[in-house]
């Protein structure tokens, strides 16, 4: 038996917004992370169309990160910037004895916190609503970091804001880079055919890098389709990038969770104003 559908603003029995009514949704998450959202879309009556716009690979060099993991007890705080960072870092950390008992753990978003919980790390600092680097830096704990050693566990080439701000506040900051983002090779011909037949009614993009990759992958004709298709995204940085690329139908989920994304999709099919979801433009 399948578990019940998670609650959304439109999941009460009998309400017309319950189903996605065959809406084709292009899901651009990395292949290994797309399954739960695709299954949720299908259970709500939509058609999930997988098109990974980002792949996660090994870092170019593991040695710097592993050197840091060998001396985690020297740090006051470890910040995990993504679920991928947790998933890649925790196995080698556990091989080295695990998280030291006095090391504080922080996560930028709920997905990252949930991944930490899978490794029995269920207590971590995280923003209550603004699931960004800015939201994390606004927490009281991060106002008084002078003289402390902090490690940021991330992918190669992540945002510099965390390190720059914490360094300016007097902390010593190191990076443990445990994965590399890459643009997948893809044949988008069939995808463009489906768009031409009207089979793609929404696109989900959960990172600015995925959006950039998607534009490159689609080419001119595909970019025109994308600009006219409702684009569900997470965070103001992605919205800004999408607007700069000329996308005209922008919807922002309240967070990166599958339920929050599904709520926006349900609002779209129910023909409700995106403003009712709190972050549309």
**Which pLDDT score, from 0 to 100, does residue 159 have?**
81
**Which pLDDT score, from 0 to 100, does residue 18 have?**
52
Give the mean model confidence (pLDDT) for residues 59-66: 96
Q: Sorting pLDDT into bands at 50, 70 and 90, what band is 269?
A: confident
pTM: 0.76
Q: Sorting pLDDT into bands at 50, 70 and 90, what band is 235?
A: confident
Q: Sorting pLDDT into bands at 50, 70 and 90, what band is 279?
A: very low
pLDDT surpassing 80 at residue 31: yes
Q: Two tokens at 29?
A: 């998450």
User: Cα–Cα distance between 233 and 109 in angstroms, integer?
Assistant: 15
What contacts 171, CB < 8 A, 6 or more positions away? 145, 146, 147, 148, 149, 150
pLDDT surpassing 90 at residue 15: no
pLDDT tens digit string along 38-62? 999 999 999 999 999 999 999 999 9
Q: Two tokens at 147?
A: 């003289």
**Which pLDDT score, from 0 to 100, does residue 47 have?**
95
Domains in the chain with CATH codes: 16-54+185-277 (3.40.50.10090), 57-182 (3.40.50.10090)
H helices of 44-137, where?
63-69, 83-95, 110-118, 133-137
pLDDT tens digit string along 123-178? 899 988 777 888 899 999 999 999 999 999 999 987 889 999 999 999 999 999 99
Residue % of the chain over a pLDDT of 90: 66
Give SS3 for 154.
strand
Give SS3 for 78.
strand
Q: Where are the beta strands (DSSP E) in the chain?
A: 24-27, 47-50, 55-57, 77-80, 104-107, 149-155, 172-182, 202-205, 231-234, 250-253
Rg (the chain; Cα; Å)? 20
**Which pLDDT score, from 0 to 100, does residue 271 have?**
59
**Which pLDDT score, from 0 to 100, does residue 280 have?**
40
User: Cα–Cα distance between 207 and 204 in angstroms, integer?
Assistant: 10
**Which pLDDT score, from 0 to 100, does residue 105 have?**
97
Edge-first strand order for the sheet with 202-205 is 47-50, 24-27, 202-205, 231-234, 250-253
Q: Sorting pLDDT into bands at 50, 70 and 90, what band is 107?
A: very high
């Amino acid at each position: 038996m399948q578990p019940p559908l998670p609650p959304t603003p439109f999941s009460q029995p009998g309400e017309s917004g319950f189903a996605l009514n065959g809406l084709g949704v292009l899901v651009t998450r990395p292949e290994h992370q797309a399954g739960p959202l695709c299954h949720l879309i299908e259970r709500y009556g939509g058609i999930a169309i997988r098109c990974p716009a980002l792949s996660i690979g090994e870092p170019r060099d593991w040695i710097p990160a592993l050197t840091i993991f060998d001396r985690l007890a020297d740090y006051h705080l470890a910040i995990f910037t993504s679920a991928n960072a947790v998933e890649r870092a925790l196995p080698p950390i556990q091989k080295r004895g695990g998280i030291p008992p006095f090391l504080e753990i922080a996560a930028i978003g709920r997905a990252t916190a949930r991944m930490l919980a899978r490794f029995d790390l269920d207590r971590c600092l995280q923003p209550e609503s603004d699931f960004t680097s800015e939201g994390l830096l606004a927490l009281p704990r991060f106002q008084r970091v002078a003289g402390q050693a902090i490690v940021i566990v991330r992918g190669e080439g992540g945002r510099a804001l965390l390190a720059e701000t914490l360094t300016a506040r007097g902390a010593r900051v190191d990076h443990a880079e445990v994965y590399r983002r890459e643009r997948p090779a893809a044949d988008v011909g069939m995808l463009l055919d489906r768009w031409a037949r009207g089979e793609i009614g929404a696109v989900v993009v959960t990172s600015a890098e995925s959006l950039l990759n998607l534009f490159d992958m689609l080419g001119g004709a595909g970019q025109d389709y994308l600009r006219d298709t409702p684009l569900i995204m997470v965070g103001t940085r992605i919205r800004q990038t999408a607007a700069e690329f000329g996308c005209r139908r922008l919807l922002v989920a309240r967070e990166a969770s599958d339920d929050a994304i599904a709520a926006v999709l349900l609002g779209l099919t129910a023909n409700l104003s995106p403003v009712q979801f709190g972050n549309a433009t």
